[in-house]
Amino acid sequence: DVKVTQSSRYLVKRTGEKVFLECVQDMDHENMFWYRQDPGLGLRLIYFSYDVKMKEKGDIPEGYSVSREKKERFSLILESASTNQTSMYLCASSSTSGGSYEQYFGPGTRLTVT
């Protein structure tokens, strides 16, 4: 079974803090994604990566950055957290092999910025 893990289920941070959200997958997937999910807005793509050290902006990259130094790990960084970044953050991964691209999700991190 594919496993995608996220470093925290719940996180509370203060405005202005630097926040790191970690995601690790154990299936040697090439592709990794970060989304945020908000009521009424659905899932929105923040950043994604198709390979180590590669990154692509999604629909809402402002205020975020990412790092992918190893294939299995994809980090989302909030440089200076703000209250409008309070949200559920979801990480996902998928494989290019076989052309499936089936996407697997982690359990999510509920981030509250006060």
* Positions that interact with another protein (CB under 8 A): 4, 31, 33, 40-43, 45, 48, 58, 88, 90, 92, 99-108, 110
Judged by beta carbon, residue 18 or residue 27, the one nearer another protein is 27
Contacts of 93 (CB under 8 A, 6+ apart): 2, 4, 23, 25, 27, 29, 31, 32, 33, 74, 103, 104
Shortest spacing between CB 74 and another protein, in angstroms: 14
Judged by beta carbon, residue 71 or residue 110, the one nearer another protein is 110
Task: Tell me the β-bridge partners of 76.
Answer: 21, 66
Shortest spacing between CB 40 and another protein, in angstroms: 8
Shortest spacing between CB 16 and another protein, in angstroms: 27
Please state the φ and ψ torsions of residue 55, each to the nearest 5 degrees: -150, 150
Judged by beta carbon, residue 4 or residue 78, the one nearer another protein is 4
Structure tokens at 2: 């594919």
